[in-house]
Structure 1
Amino acid sequence: MAAASLLSLSLPKPTILIPKSTASTITTPSVTTFTETLDQKFGRKGIKFSEFDGTQIAELTVRNGSSLKLQLNNAHVTSYKPKVNWKDNDGFEEVLYTTSAAKGGIGLVINYADDNSTSKGVDLSEWIVKDADSDSIDALQVELSCTTSGTLDITYVISLYALSMATAVIIKNNGRKPVDLKTAILSHLKSKNRGGTAIQGLQGCKYCTQPPLTSQFEILSPSEAVKPEDPAWFSLGWEPEKKGGVWSVQDLPLTILKHKVSRVYGAPLEERLKEFYNTPPSKYETIDQGRELFFRVVRMGFEEIYVSSPGSVSEKYGEEYFICTGPATMLAPITIEPGEEWRGAQVIEHDNL
């Protein structure tokens, strides 16, 4: 099955592009000719390869001006600026929160289920460009392949459209033994202020306090994400997060993210043993009331949804607020048998225009 066939199930129009298969291994050229070679092989209208401070970057721009930036060496999406209003020059807004140290943005996280350390996890430190494709200049796509993941064959496909972007992962086990993985696509989304930040669409879902997966892109470490907030910042009606392993139900239509939370929305493990059980919705909306922007996050393949907000800790990183969210499989690891593959994807879409 083609690498992007997963996306064709429910991605927004236009039709998803199918990357061309690549039988031969791509040899990474020297730094001095790296971007020039990429442009010769994969460059086309709307897809540009460049270098900044020794980091190779792919820049994608579709016809209406929506754009994204992707660091090639670590598959890190550091910028997504869609057109969100009809103004000619300033109709674009940065969606992602990325620090000067290149933390945040959108990152793919894959950890072995029996290991919580970054040193022994799946090594995602080096990627190569495997293919690129376009449909006119209304849909663009770059396909990356990880060269440092051992017996795992990992393909990561980043797509840009006029009103959406998508990131999809395909993991194949080329080893002789099954592998158990915890994985997520975590997006750090920018918001103008704390009080106007929320998520809509999770009413009725069960959740529990859970630290995020360890990642090279994390702004808050797992321990910092679940550390109780300073009592000096408590406000009327605020209740502290429950301890890990204690399940609650989202009663209200809005999940207010003014204070610190770190949650997994999904079904408790004991419920998953039943023939039928409730799963989180396939999509939900992030709300940035300060900028009057709404974005839908769509999950495919993943069993859970991760949501976190930094609360008062955000002031360490600047005036703007941010949240971290995305599809995840954290509580019950996925098992990939030898010769088999697993697929998952996230789409961020909007109709702010």
Structure 2
Amino acid sequence: MQVEMVSTDAKDMVEVRYILSLREETLSSELTVSNLKSSSIQMRGGIISHLTVSTPEATFAYGLEGSDFYNRPVFLSNFGIVPPDLSQKRGFGSGQLWGNLGFNGFLTGWDARNQKNGDKGNDSLIESEEMEGEENDNYKNLTEEMSRIYTSAPRDFTIIDRGRRNSVVVGREGFEELYIFSPGSSRESYGMYSFICVGQSAMLKPVTLNPGDAWTGSQHLHNPNL
């Protein structure tokens, strides 16, 4: 099964094409950005996936030893669940609604938010750890709260959930950075809804597109246990 979504911003002359493909054992997310302008643009953003897990204590990231990382505030999304009659109530057209909730946020929302807040979000998480470092554990337990961008991670690594006796191989193309977030095990409210986030990003080093250029980045989640 394959779903394709396309947004063309006529004013800014940038096209974003997103393709979600579901195969027997693999879920792939592919993002293509085309610059139709006569000047260069920079793109910041990423593809983030939520994975349900048994507990953070039983969840491990395998294969990241030696990768450089930066601790960063948790990524916040500008996307939301929109009631079908919202555009009529507020007088938005479909193009305006997409621009306000999605396209502009994908390109600039994270930067603008952190400039406004002075990058002070999640102070407790950032202050409790070194801002940057090198992963020294090849079997990284995700029981502690963490929000990291790995800048030299391998193209493929594995999330292992020993509680469910399950694993997911996470692969990427195009993106140079890997993002991992774990809420840790200290928050009882998660309970049966325990999760972690993994994703591919271009946050620390934005992608530059010259006039007429197109860039593609993708993430692949492969479940070999099916």
Under TM normalisation by the shorter chain, which class is it?
0.7 to 0.9
Write out per-residue CA displacement over residues 110-133 of structure 1, whole angstroms, 9 at most, x where no aligned residue: xxxxxxxxxxxxxxxxxxxxxxxx
Structure 1 residue runs of 4 or more that deviate by more than 4 Å after TM superposition: 221-225
Letter in 1 for 2:129: E
Corresponding residue for residue 178 of structure 2: 305
Larger Rg: 1
Alignment gaps of 5+ in structure 1: 1-139, 230-239, 267-278
Write out per-residue CA displacement over residues 26-61 of structure 1, whole angstroms, 9 at most, x where no aligned residue: xxxxxxxxxxxxxxxxxxxxxxxxxxxxxxxxxxxx
Q: Report which of the two has the higher share of helix.
A: 2
Write out per-residue CA displacement over residues 238-270 of structure 1, whole angstroms, 9 at most, x where no aligned residue: xx421x3xx21111111111111011111xxxx
Corresponding residue for residue 252 of structure 1: 137
- Return the TM-score normalized by structure 2: 0.75
Q: CA deviation at 1:314?
A: 4.5
Going from structure 1 to structure 2, the CA distance change for 1:172 and 1:314 (only over 3 Å counts) comes to: farther
| 1:311 partner SS | coil
Tell me, in whole angstroms, the C-alpha distance in 2 between the residues paired with 1:154 and 1:206: 30
Letter in 1 for 2:72: Q
Contact 1:225 1:260 in 2 (8 A): no
Q: CA deviation at 1:225?
A: 7.1
Does the alignment pair 1:211 with 2:107? no
Contact 2:172 2:220 in 1 (8 A): yes
Does the alignment pair 1:142 with 2:27? no
Letter in 1 for 2:77: S
Q: Report which of the two has the higher share of strand.
A: 2
Q: CA deviation at 1:227?
A: 3.5
- Between the two proteins, what is the percent identity of the paired residues? 31
Q: CA deviation at 1:342?
A: 0.7
Tell me, in whole angstroms, the C-alpha distance in 1 between the residues paired with 2:25 and 2:121: 31
Tell me, in whole angstroms, the C-alpha distance in 2 between the residues paired with 1:191 and 1:286: 10
- Return the TM-score normalized by structure 1: 0.49
Corresponding residue for residue 171 of structure 1: 33
Corresponding residue for residue 329 of structure 1: 202
Greater RCO, 1 or 2 (C-alpha within 8 Å, sep 6+): 2
* RMSD across aligned positions (CA): 2.5
Tell me, in whole angstroms, the C-alpha distance in 1 between the residues paired with 2:218 and 2:61: 20
Number of aligned residue pairs: give it.
188
Letter in 2 for 1:178: S
Letter in 2 for 1:260: E
Tell me, in whole angstroms, the C-alpha distance in 1 between the residues paired with 2:200 and 2:54: 23
| 2:56 partner SS | coil
Letter in 1 for 2:2: Q
| 1:195 partner SS | helix
Corresponding residue for residue 32 of structure 1: none
Does the alignment pair 1:198 with 2:60? yes
Alignment gaps of 5+ in structure 2: 81-112
Tell me, in whole angstroms, the C-alpha distance in 2 between the residues paired with 1:260 and 1:333: 26
Residue among 241, 246, 261 paired with 2:129: 241
Q: What are the residue-to-residue correspondences of 1:210-289 with 2, within 5 Å?
A: 210-217=72-79, 226-228=122-124, 240-242=128-130, 244=131, 247-266=132-151, 279-289=152-162
